[in-house]
Amino acid sequence: MLSELLGSAGTGTKRLSWKSDRLDVINKFSYLPNPAVFVYIHNSMSYIAVIGAGSWGTTLASLLSEKGYDVALWTHDPELAISINRERVNNIFLPGFTLHPMLNVSFNGEELSTARYILNTVPTQFIRPIFNKIRTYINDQAIIVSASKGIENNTLMTPSMILEEIMGRPVSVLSGPSFAREVADKKPTAITLATGDPKIGLLLQEVFNTDYFRVYTHDDIIGVEIGGALKNVIAIASGICDGLSLGHNSRAALITRGLSEMTRLGLKMNALEVTFSGLSGIGDLVLTCTDMQSRNFTVGHKLGKGMKLGDIINQTQSVAEGIATTLSAYELASKHGIELPITEQVYLTLYKDKSPAEAVKNLMNRSLKSEFHGY
């Protein structure tokens, strides 16, 4: 079958090398376009559309372009699109990294209509307005993947929940320990792809996987998203500890107890416990809680050094998802009747102007409990 398709290639097409066993899976997608579409990419169409030109969206768009896909990186900002196309660098969100020459950056919604895959990288609090704006351009057959991490304020919905509500179709999730700059520099990275359809999982695994970006499949979408959201809250707390110079013991304790909170909330939302021992759980938590490349860790570090949240936000162009997610996680804990002590103290620090030192003191002076209390 593969050789027949390769033999029928016309001019103006790009060829992709698919493993024959994966092609067999693709052939069984009766509700998707002709399987040949997945082997050949016409130069005139946007085969993959990445929504959001931040550091992560830019990195993934360039990665996919290098694999030979026809990729459109979509941004709502015309000036940013023009600048990236001209300079071949995203000087605002990924400075110093030259993008693949075939990557096209667009602010025109009509270019999304031919995309077979839609990859969302928009910060969680902006997914709803952005996709309400562009949804009419998106192909009814397009497979949607979300790589955003957070929980929407007020609705308390995860990114996949928001997208499913707007688009009316299943959404897969890409998450895990992955600083954009390190992926852009092709440093070895492993990540989780969660989907409710194993066939879609095999397909997307092939789409994203490279020799430096390893993709594992999983079926626990809500668990993967809760891990990706809560780790940003705990990262703010870890940054506060670092800013207060509390040492490595406190960081280790915070990460461990943060994992406990992440798991406790996830189980209440029907996640699988094993998910939190994986890449999208403890893996992403450790990464985000230990390095200044993390925007959320940096926010916490500055809070620990005495800066006010408003000043920190005004100095930062990228979005630290943990700030908004803290409010949502705090409200989810109340909704489900569970204790998330670290999350609560981060909430009080961010939204009630509690001093970071006082927050740490309150955590350490809580009533004594069994380590696995609340499970």
DSSP 192: E
pLDDT tens string 208-238:
999 999 999 999 999 999 999 999 999 999 9
**What average pLDDT does this structure show over 138-162?**
97
Which of 25-39, 137-151, 204-218 shows the lowest per-residue confidence on average (mean pLDDT)? 25-39
pLDDT on residue 111: 87
The pTM of the full predicted model, rounded to 2 decimals, is 0.88
Indicate the CATH number of 223-364 among 3.40.50.620, 3.90.550.10, 1.10.1040.10, 3.30.70.360. 1.10.1040.10
Rounded to the nearest 10 degrees, the angle between the axes of helix 295-304 and helix 221-243 is 30
SS3 135: helix
Indicate the CATH number of 45-219 among 3.30.70.100, 3.40.50.720, 3.40.50.300, 3.40.250.10. 3.40.50.720
Contact 325, 124 (CB under 8 A): yes
Higher per-residue confidence, 334 vs 46: 334
* 361 sits in which H/E element: helix 356-364
pLDDT on residue 318: 83
**What average pLDDT does this structure show over 278-302?**
97
Kind of pairing between the strands at 171-175 and 189-194: antiparallel
Query: Is pLDDT of 1 > 50?
Result: no
Cite the residue boundaries of each domain of the chain with CATH code 3.40.50.720: 45-219
Which residue among 67, 231, 268, 369 is the active-site one?
231
User: pLDDT band at 46, cuts 50/70/90?
Assistant: low
pLDDT on residue 23: 41
The token duo for 362 is 């309150």
pLDDT tens string 262-281:
999 999 999 999 999 999 99
Residue type, 170: P
Active site residue 231: yes
Residue type, 130: I
DSSP 285: H
Query: Is pLDDT of 28 > 90?
Result: no
Task: State the average pLDDT for the chain.
Answer: 89
Contacts of 206 (CB under 8 A, 6+ apart): 18, 19, 22
Cite the residue boundaries of each domain of the chain with CATH code 1.10.1040.10: 223-364
Of 335, 333, 317, residue with least CA distance to 346 = 333
pLDDT on residue 374: 73
Radius of gyration of the chain (CA): 21
Which of 33-42, 135-144, 155-164, 234-243 shows the lowest per-residue confidence on average (mean pLDDT)? 33-42
